[in-house]
């Protein structure tokens, strides 16, 4: 078997069900269902996956649980790793993460390219901003908001549109430096060298256990650190111990976890900046959304830059940018909307409907969703 994927879940029935949907062979591309297995480890959920979800799971999905669950996911992850049969083993420590369609096949190819590969990907968060009304919510309370966001992109019919409604989580910076892996792919032998996760990280949520795991992986002798491009995991809000906490609470917990790490390791968490090998591709949807996300984040932090946006807008109108850039796509949307406006002023309702449907279905409309969202935030017509 080429690949085993270990997924840890805890009190996230809605989010975990969506995650498993993205790990199924009819969603993942480039791997047959007989080439990989998914091992789902429940860490003592009070609200486990629904029975119908478990019953409908593909044959390559196995479910297990800890006899004596613990607050930290470390022991649950180690159980899953001990059951893995693949030559490559991937760990998704937070079962609330949606996978993009080529994450598994690209991760396998990257590991198979080097005998001591340490492979991760960039993590994203669902939604353009953190929800203030549901940030403390549990999985059930967050489910409606998640469904509403995914409904705007008709997910999962065109799964790469997830990037239109997500933001980077910062775990891998902008193409690294990284300090945490949301999906870690290693050869079986390297997992054995690591000895799994350190179960002394016994706090709810695991504290720095994931950061410790990735740091130790990068310290393995002669390892080859790799970052997958064009693929990702997208975190769904579910009332988790870290990602879904209010800022003040998050800082307090972070400092507690840091103190615990120092007590265990006798040092602060190392900041490492290895030379990364980039593996993958940059499809248009990923590239444009990434650029638009950076633009939106920058303007959100420095409102004065709205004037720069206006000057760029005027310059592009006078001298259109090369085809394929975010700005040319924005003006393609503008042209489509003008055509739609003209159709709306005719008496031909069918022509208006055709123009509307064509505009909404176009790549230009999809790829510039963050830019149009930005324009609304800035009050630009």
What percent of the chain is modeled with pLDDT above 70?
70
CATH number assigned to the domain comprising residue 13? 3.90.550.10
257 and 306 share one domain: no
**Confidence at residue 333, expressed as pLDDT on a 0 to 100 scale:** 59
Mean pLDDT, rounded, for 310-331: 50
Range of the domain at 304: 286-378
Pair 216, 343 in one domain? no
pLDDT of residue 103: 97
Q: Are 288 and 326 in contact (CB under 8 A)?
A: yes
Give the confidence band of 134 by pLDDT, cuts at 50, 70, 90: very low
The pLDDT of residue 323 is above 80: no
Cα–Cα distance for residue pair 163/160, rounded to 1 Å: 6
Same domain membership, residue 304 and residue 269:
no
Q: pLDDT-derived band of residue 233, with 50, 70 and 90 as boundaries?
A: very high
Instruction: Say if residue 30's pLDDT is above 60.
Output: yes
The pLDDT score that the predictor gives to residue 36 is: 98
Q: Which of 281, 304, 321 is the last residue of a domain?
A: 281
Q: For position 11, what pLDDT does the model report? A: 93
- d(CA 81, CA 91) in angstroms, rounded, equals 8
pLDDT per residue as tens digits for the range 239-292:
655 555 555 566 678 788 888 989 999 988 887 777 899 999 877 667 766 776
Question: In the structure encoding, which two tokens stand for residue 209, read together?
Answer: 């256990």
Long-range contacts of residues 256-261, Cβ cutoff 8 Å, at least 24 apart: 256/203, 256/207, 257/203, 257/207, 257/208, 258/208, 260/201, 260/203, 260/207, 260/208, 261/201, 261/207, 261/208, 261/211, 261/212
- Estimate to the nearest angstrom the gap between the alpha carbon of 263 and the chain centroid: 31
Q: Mean pLDDT score of the chain, rounded to an integer?
A: 81
Q: How do 36-42 and 117-126 pair as beta strands?
A: unpaired
Q: Say what angle helices 326-344 and 284-301 make with each other, to 10 degrees.
A: 90
Q: What is the pLDDT of residues 44-98, one digit of tens each?
A: 999 999 999 999 999 999 999 998 999 999 999 999 999 999 999 999 999 999 9
- 275: buried, middle or exposed (CB in 10 Å: 19+, 13-18, 0-12)? exposed
Residue 141 is predicted with a pLDDT of 81
* Nearest-angstrom CA–CA distance, 104 and 98: 12
Q: Give the whole-angstrom CA distance, residue 313 versus residue 362.
A: 21
Structure tokens at 144: 């409606």
- Report the predicted TM-score, pTM, of the whole model to 2 decimal places: 0.78
* Cα 28 from Cα 102, distance rounded (Å): 6
Work out how many domains the chain is built from and give that number: 2
pLDDT tens digits, 329-381: 555 656 666 666 666 666 677 777 777 777 766 666 665 565 555 555 545 44
Whole-angstrom CA distances from 161 to 152, 336, 363 are 10, 20, 10
Residues 108, 200, single domain; the answer is yes
From 246, 265, 281, the end of a domain falls on 281
Same domain? For 161 and 111 the reply is yes
């Amino acid at each position: 078997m080429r690949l085993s994927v270990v997924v840890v879940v805890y009190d996230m029935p809605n989010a975990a069900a969506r995650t498993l949907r993205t790990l199924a062979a009819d969603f993942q591309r480039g791997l047959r269902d007989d080439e990989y297995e998914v091992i789902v480890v429940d860490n003592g959920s009070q609200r486990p996956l629904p029975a119908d979800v478990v019953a409908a799971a593909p044959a390559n999905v196995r479910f297990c649980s800890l006899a004596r669950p613990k607050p930290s996911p470390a022991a649950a992850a180690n159980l899953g790793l001990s059951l893995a049969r693949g030559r490559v083993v991937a760990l998704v420590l937070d079962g609330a993460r949606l996978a993009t369609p080529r994450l598994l096949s690209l991760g396998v190819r990257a590991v198979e390219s080097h005998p001591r590969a340490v492979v991760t990907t960039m993590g994203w968060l669902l939604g353009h901003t953190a929800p203030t009304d549901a940030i403390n919510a549990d999985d059930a309370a967050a489910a409606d908001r998640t469904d509403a966001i995914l409904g705007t992109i008709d997910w999962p019919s065109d799964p790469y549109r997830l990037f239109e409604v997500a933001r980077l989580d910062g775990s891998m910076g902008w193409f690294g430096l990284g300090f945490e892996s949301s999906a870690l792919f290693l050869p079986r032998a390297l997992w054995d060298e690591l000895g799994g996760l350190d179960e002394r990280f016994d706090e709810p949520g695991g504290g720095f256990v994931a950061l410790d795991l990735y740091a130790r992986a990068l310290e393995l002798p002669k390892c080859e650190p790799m970052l997958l491009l064009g693929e990702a995991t997208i975190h769904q809000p579910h009332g988790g111990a870290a990602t879904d906490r209010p800022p003040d609470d998050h800082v307090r917990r972070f400092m507690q976890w840091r103190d615990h790490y120092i007590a265990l390791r006798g040092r602060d968490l190392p900041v490492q900046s290895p030379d990364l090998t980039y593996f993958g591709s940059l499809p248009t949807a990923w590239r444009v959304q990434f650029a638009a996300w950076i633009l939106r984040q920058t303007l959100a932090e420095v409102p004065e830059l709205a004037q720069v946006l206006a000057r760029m807008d005027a310059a592009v109108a006078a001298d259109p940018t090369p085809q394929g850039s975010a700005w040319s796509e924005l003006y393609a949307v503008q042209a489509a909307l003008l055509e739609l406006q003209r159709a709306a002023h005719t008496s031909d309702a069918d022509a208006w409907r055709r123009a509307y449907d064509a505009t909404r279905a176009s790549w230009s409309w999809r790829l510039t969703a963050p830019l149009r969202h930005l324009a609304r935030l800035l009050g630009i017509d």
